[in-house]
Amino acid sequence: MENVIKISYLTIILSVLLSACNPAEEPAATLGGGTEQGSNLVAEEATRQITADMMRHYVRELSDDKYEGRGPGSRGDVAARQYLAGEMEKMGLEPGAANGSWQQEFDLVGVAAEQPPAWKFRRGDDVLTLKQWDQFIVGSGVQAEQASVNDAEIVFVGYGIQAPEYDWDDYKGQDLKGKVLLMMNNDPDWDPELFGGETRLWYGRWDYKYLSAAKQGAVGAIIIHTSPSAGYPFQVVQTSWTGEQFELPAGDEPRNRIKAWATEDAVRQLLSFAGHDLDKLREAADNRDFVPVPLGITTSISLNVSLNRVQSANVLGLIPGSDPKLRDQAVIYTAHHDHLGIGTPNADGDSIYNGAMDNASGVAQVMAIAKAIRSMPQAPRRSILVALVGAEEQGLLGSLYYADNPTFAPGKIAANLNYDGGNIWGDTHDVTFIGLGKSSIDSIVTAIAAEQGRVVKPDQFSDRGYFYRSDQFSFAKIGVPAMYLDTGTDFVDRPPEWGREQQNHYTDVNYHQPTDEYNDGWNFDGMIADAHLGFWAGLAIANADEMPAWNRGDEFEAARLEALKAVSGK
C-alpha cells in the first residue's frame, strides 16, 4: 500500500480542519509549521524516519526477557524507563517533567492478597464451596494487611448501574451497606438508544462496577464473568488479577473490602444453591423496574494481604512549539510502557509476561512519530509532548496520575493521540478509530486515511468497550479530545474474515499471557501506516488556529468546556 501522502492533499486537509474550527478565517499555516508549500515537503520527508527497522528494534528491545515484563516498580520497569528516556534524549527531545526531569514519578501501593483455596457460602446450615482459580478470583479492595468480610448477605443487583441520563437505577434506593453485591458484566445492549446499544460504555466496565458497589457502602462485589461480556476469556482474569496488584495511594474514597470475579457456571451453581435461576434474574435485570434481589445466603472470607510501596513513572519528552502564542498548548502522544511483569507460569514454564504487542508495539509507534517530528527543521506551532505512561495494566494509573498532575493545563491540551497495541499482520484497507463520532478529530483522521487509500471505521469490537480501557480515557475525563487508533480488519490480499480471526486469536491465546512475545514473522507495514496517520493528524492539530472539540452533547463535552473556562479567566 502507498502510505506517502501527497502534498496537495495535505493543504486541503488543513483547510478543512481550520474551516471547521473557525469558518470565518482563512487557513494561517501549513502542516509543516510554516506558510509555504515547502514546509509540507519537509513534513513528508520527515515521515521517512518512520521505518519498520526502527519499530522492530523498539519492540524487540522492550519485550526482551531482561526487562522481566516491565511490571510497575520492578527493576525491569526502572530499566525500561531509563532506556526510553535515553532514547528521547538521543532524538533531541527535551525533558518534559518538572524540574528538567525525563520522568514524572508517582507512588504506587502493591497489594498482594493471599487467595484462599476455597470460598464458602451459607444458606442456613447448608454450605456451598467454590474453588479458587477454576471458579473465582478474589482480591483486596483495601490497602491494609487484611481484607475480610464477615457473615455478609449476598444481593444480586443486576448490572449495578446508576445512569440518570438513561433513567436507569439498579439500586432503587435500597440500603446495601455491609452487603456483597453480585452483578453482571457489561451494560444493557439490546436497544441502540440505550447505553449505546452494542457499544459498551464505561458503565459496562469492571472498574465502574466496583466503584459503583463501593458508593453503595457494599463491603464486596462479585462480577459474573462471561467471555462475551468481558471481551476476553477467564484466563485473562486469572493471570491479570492474581499476584501483586498496584494502585495509587488510597484517599478518602469509598472502597470495597473484597473485589472478585466468578465464572458463569460457578454463579449458576451459587444461585441454584440459593433457590434462584440465573437466567430469570438476568431477564429481570434487563428492565428499568428491576430491584435488587437478596439471595438469602451469606459469606465470610478473609484475605491476608502483603503491602509494598514502590514508584513508577511516566517518561515525558517535549518538543517545544514554534509559535510564541501557541507553544503553551500541546498535542500529547501516549503509549503505555508497562506490562504485567513476572507472574503465573504457563504450560511451558514461561513466567515472564513480555507484552510485545501490549504495548511495546505502541511505544514503538509513538517513538517513531516523535523522531519524525523532531527531524523537522521547524517544530509545529503547538508543543508536542511524548508521554510514555506507566501502570496502565493496573487501571490506567500513570495516565490518571498525569491527568491529575498535568504539565499542561487541561484546557491547553489540544488533543491526546494514543497508541495501545500495533498491527502486526500487515496492510489493511481500513483503520479502526476508537472514539470515532465523538469529536472534531474525526474529519482530520478520515481525510488523511483517505489519502492513504484507507477507510476509517469505528470500534469494530464495540462490545469490548475499548475506549474506556486505554489511556485516552484518562485524558477524556479531564476534557481532552482523544484519538486511539487500532488495527483494521480488512487486510490486503486476505479473505474477509481473516483480520478478525487474527485479532480474536490474539485475545484468546496471547492477551496478558507469557506468549505475547516478539516474533520475526511480524509484518510492520500496518504499523507504519498507522504511525504515518498519527504523525499527520498530530501536525494538523498542532498547527491549526483552533483546538479540536468534542461533538455537541458528548459525554466529555462538559469537562472540556470547564477546562477551557479555567484557562480563559472568564
Q: 3-class DSSP state for residue 148? A: strand
Q: Which amino acid, 267?
A: V
| pLDDT tens profile 354-365 | 999 999 999 999
Q: What would the mean pLDDT of 524-532 be, rounded to a whole number?
A: 97
Least Cα distance to 553 among 263, 287, 165 occurs for 165
Return the closest-CA partner of residue 69 out of 522, 524, 517: 517
Taking all residues of the chain, what is their mean pLDDT, rounded to a whole number? 92
Confidence check: pLDDT of 85 > 90:
yes
3-state secondary structure of 505: helix
C-alpha cell of residue 521:
514473522
- Decide if pLDDT at 51 tops 80: yes
Q: What is the pLDDT of residue 462?
A: 82
Band (5; pLDDT cuts 50, 70, 90) = very low
- What pLDDT score was predicted for residue 36? 44
pLDDT at residue 6 is higher than 60: no
Q: Which residues contact 231 (CB under 8 A, 6 or more apart)?
A: 200, 461, 463, 464, 465, 507
Of the given ranges (30-39, 46-55, 56-65, 561-570), which has the lowest mean pLDDT? 30-39
For the chain, where do the domains classified as CATH 3.40.630.10 start and end? 7-92+320-568
DSSP 277: -
The three-state secondary structure class of 539 is: helix
Q: What is the pLDDT of residue 570?
A: 66
pLDDT at position 278: 97
Q: For residue range 367-393, list pLDDT tens digits in order.
A: 999 999 999 999 999 999 999 999 999
What is the maximal distance between C-alpha atoms in the chain?
Answer: 83
Task: Take residue 549 and report the three cell numbers written for it.
Answer: 472539540
Q: Please give the sequence-ordered ranges of beta strands (E in DSSP) within 393-526, or none if there are none.
A: 413-419, 430-434, 455-457, 482-486
CA distances to 29, 44, 372, 378 from 39, in Å: 10, 9, 14, 9
E strands along 320-371, which residues? 330-336, 341-342, 352-353
**pLDDT at 32 exceeding the cut of 70:** no
- On the 0-12 / 13-18 / 19+ scale of CB atoms within 10 A, 15 is middle
pLDDT value at residue 8:
41
Could you report how far apart the first and last alpha carbons of the chain are, in Å?
49
Whether 3 has a pLDDT exceeding 60, the answer reads: no
pLDDT at 131: 98
For residue 524, CA distances in Å to 59, 449, 452, 470, 507 come to: 11, 17, 16, 22, 19
- Please answer whether residues 552 and 27 qualify as being in contact, where contact means their C-beta atoms are separated by less than 8 angstroms: no
Three-class SS state of 183: strand
Q: Give the Å distances, CA to CA, from 290 to 124, 170, 208, 297, 524.
A: 27, 6, 19, 20, 50
| Calpha distance 8→487 (Å, rounded) | 27
Contact yes or no for 540/31 (Cβ under 8 A)? yes
DSSP of 57-118:
HHHHHHTSGGGGGG-TTSHHHHHHHHHHHHHHHHHTPEE-SGGG-SEEEEEEEEEEEE--SE
Supply 158's cell numbers.
443486576
**Helix, strand or coil for residue 27?**
coil
Q: How far apart are CA 71 and CA 337, in angstroms?
A: 10
CA dist 339 and 299 (Å) reads 34
How much is the CA Rg of the chain, to the nearest whole Å?
24
Residue carrying the nine cell digits 488523511: 448
Q: Percent of the chain, pLDDT > 90?
A: 84
pLDDT of 561 over the 80 cut: yes
Please give the grid coordinates belonging to residue 451: 489519502
User: What cell numbers appear for 220 in the block?
Assistant: 464486596
CB 547 within 8 A of CB 18: no
- The pLDDT value recorded for residue 21 is 39
Tell me the CA distances in angstroms from 399 to 289, 314, 429, one per residue in order: 37, 8, 31
Give the torsion through C-alpha atoms of 496, 502, 503, 505, to 10 deg: 130
Is the pLDDT assigned to residue 9 strictly greater than 70?
A: no
With residue 364 as reference, give the H or E element that holds it.
Answer: helix 362-374
pLDDT tier for residue 465 given thresholds of 50, 70 and 90:
confident
pLDDT surpassing 60 at residue 229? yes
How large a percentage of the chain has pLDDT more than 70? Answer: 93
* Residue limits of CATH 3.50.30.30 in the chain: 111-307
Question: Which of 11-25, 124-138, 448-462, 552-566 is least confident?
Answer: 11-25
CB of 390 closer than 8 Å to CB of 336: yes
What is the full DSSP assignment across 190-225? S-TTSTTTTS--GGGSHHHHHHHHHHTT-SEEEEEE
Please report the pLDDT score of residue 426 as a whole number: 97
How far is Cα 360 from Cα 44, in angstroms, rounded to an integer?
Answer: 26
Express the helix, strand and coil content of the chain in percent, nearest 5 each.
35, 25, 40
pLDDT digits (tens, 9 = 90+) for 467-523: 999 999 999 999 999 999 999 999 999 999 999 999 999 999 999 999 999 999 999
Please check whether the domain covering 111-307 is classified as CATH 3.40.50.10360. no
Q: Which pLDDT band holds residue 38 (cuts at 50, 70, 90)?
A: low
Q: What distance in Å separates the CA atoms of residue 226 and residue 213, rounded to the nearest whole number?
A: 20
Closest CA to 370 of 172, 53, 84: 84
CA dist., res. 456 & res. 397, Å (int) = 29
> For 289-316, what is each residue's pLDDT tens digit?
999 999 999 999 999 999 999 999 999 9
Q: Which three cell numbers stand for residue 314?
A: 511516566
Q: How high is the pLDDT of residue 49?
A: 95
Cis bond before residue 551 (omega within 30° of 0): no
Spatial distance between the Cα atoms of 279 and 275, rounded to a whole number of angstroms: 13
pLDDT in the model for residue 17: 44
- Are the beta carbons of 402 and 387 closer than 8 angstroms? yes
**Topology of domain 7-92+320-568, CATH:** Aminopeptidase (3.40.630)
In the prediction, which pLDDT does 31 show?
Answer: 54
Look at residue 118 in the predicted model and tell me its pLDDT: 97
- Residue 393: helix, strand or coil by DSSP? helix
Confidence tier at 200 by pLDDT (50, 70, 90): confident
What is the rounded distance in angstroms from the CA atom of residue 354 to the CA atom of residue 53? 20
Contact between 159 and 203 (Cβ < 8 Å): yes
